[in-house]
Amino acid sequence: MRTVTHLSLIMILLFSGCYTFNGNRIPDEIESVTVNFFANQSTFVAPSLSQSFTEALKDKMAAETRLYLKDRGGDWEFSGAIVTYQNTPMAPTGNETTALNRLTIGVKVDFVNHKNEQESWNQTFTRFEDYESSKSLAEVEGELIRLITIQLVDDIYLKAASDW
């Protein structure tokens, strides 16, 4: 029985460097990250979206990785633009109105791994939130932007730092 316990402990120690339970695979040689400003290039512009999105991505990298933020020259570099900011009616009702509206935000991301260029990628991430049409966009916009930004930043982080 002790042999099985010892063998299990050895296996855990051997494989702990190969896999982490949160799915991160940030190689040891990656020490820093640069997050450039994400300008809003969509046809409709929410004034604070670019700044709040950029800061949210920086905060995610600082809080959930061991990487330190650099203004330029990071081992990992994120850049891109907000390419979609769209409010559309959803769920039509019988009297030519809608029950829900949808706010959609899309972000084009250029990720460069300066230590291994083969791991670099470009992708557009899109998320949305629905809200009751009885409310105006101005009433719910701040909270919707916050919720969508969290989802987008999580998607980008998982793409950069996980095995899937």
The answer to whether residue 11 scores a pLDDT higher than 70 is no
More confident residue, 126 or 8: 126
Q: State the total domains in the chain.
A: 1
How do residues 123-151 score in pLDDT, each as one tens digit? 999 999 999 999 999 999 999 999 999 99
Domain residue limits at 128: 27-161
- DSSP characters for 20-66? -TT-B---TT--EEEE---EE-SSS--TTHHHHHHHHHHHHHHHHSS
How do residues 22-51 score in pLDDT, each as one tens digit? 445 788 899 999 999 999 999 998 999 999
Give a yes or no: residue 13 inside a domain. Answer: no
Give a yes or no: residue 141 inside a domain. Answer: yes
Tokens 């020490």 map to which residue?
Answer: 31
pTM: 0.81
CATH code of the domain containing 99: 3.30.160.150
Running DSSP on this structure, what letter comes out for residue 16? T
Give a yes or no: residue 119 inside a domain. Answer: yes
Q: Is 38 in contact with 81 (CB distance < 8 Å)?
A: yes
The Cα–Cα gap between 137 and 114 comes to 40
More confident residue, 6 or 80: 80
Q: What is the pLDDT of residue 162?
A: 81
